[in-house]
A = this chain, B = another copy of it.
């Protein structure tokens, strides 16, 4: 496949900004205050792994009109200067006396009326990435201006991906497809699971992942007990089911899917569970088209994966995907979001096996006008077998 060009044209960031400003006008917001990596990157294009360091706060102010304003530590000025942002205000962080709060308050006062409402993320899946004492000091400095809900504006916009975003997610998925196709090179009976994890990440890099922020999995007899554990040094054994679930990144966008492997020939129970997972994923794929709800998708998959099992027991059967490993919405019965073209989702049915064990399968799709389209390479009902 063709690898899409890096970055986005400025026009894409301008469009995101204008879309947000239209929703801000509807919600009566004079500005948005952005504090987290994906929020800031969505409007500016500021892409760095430096967020791994918790030391410095980073702020972007989205005014009611005009481009975003960056209020950031000076260490980031050169990189931010390469984006479309021109109004970049910096301080030398960390500053034990005032770590950017004064500069941020000045900026917000400059672009909002004295009793304006300023939107700040407050809903599920969000947090405010600034020290709590600084947030309290900011509220005092803003006097009559109030920090209110951001009306989920950024979340609502990010849920519908542009073609350029979809191309990046597809490129990430293509890397993972190729890495999964090479697992037999690195995993055999006797290989410690920790070595499989290390080698699989190296395969992802060899297949051109930029980096590999997420890998979880397990290897156990007749299924596994959880899907979020790091690796142990225990070796693969004949009869194990090895599951690897990766979220790797291409140009700032994730894929997120897993593959199951049988070490030696699978038992009838494991093979049957895998086939049900594939059928459940296919049922989700067939159901996924505009105006269907997320809850409909849930029930389409759960009915196949676990005939008779309650929705409560099933848990979450997938989620949004994009700049983060998991995004809004969650595929649960309580979610009545209607599917819209441009939504990128994971379909992630699970089945219960004997003794508290489970198996999980996951694929990535995008919603189009006429239905769903695969971003990952859909798997067949027969399990992959390792020696």
Contact = CB atoms under 8 A, between A and B. Distances in A.
Interface of A: 6, 47-50, 52-55, 74-76, 78-79, 92, 94-97, 99, 120-134, 136, 149, 194, 197-199, 201-202, 205-206, 208-216, 225-231, 233, 247, 312, 315-316, 319, 324-327, 330, 332, 334-335
Contact of A216 (B49, B74, B99, B214): B49
How many copies the complex holds: the figure is 2
A325 B129 CA distance: 17
B55 A326 contact: yes
A121 B127 contact: no
A304 B354 CA distance: 66
A322 to B, nearest CB: 12
B133 A125 contact: no
B128 A228 contact: no
Contacts of A134: 124
Given A49-B214, A198-B205, A228 B129 contact: no
Contacts of A48: 216, 228-230
Contacts of A194: 210
Contact of A312 (B79, B92, B197): B92
B326 A53 contact: yes
A220 to B, nearest CB: 12
A171 to B, nearest CB: 14
Contact of A199 (B97, B198, B205): B205
Contacts of A230: 47-49, 210
B326 A228 contact: no
A212 B215 CA distance: 11
Residue from A53, A206, A315, A324 whose CB has the most chain B CB atoms within 10 Å: A53
Given A96-B334, A213-B213, A52 B247 contact: yes
A228 B315 contact: no
A201 B211 contact: yes
A210 B228 contact: no
B132 A127 contact: yes
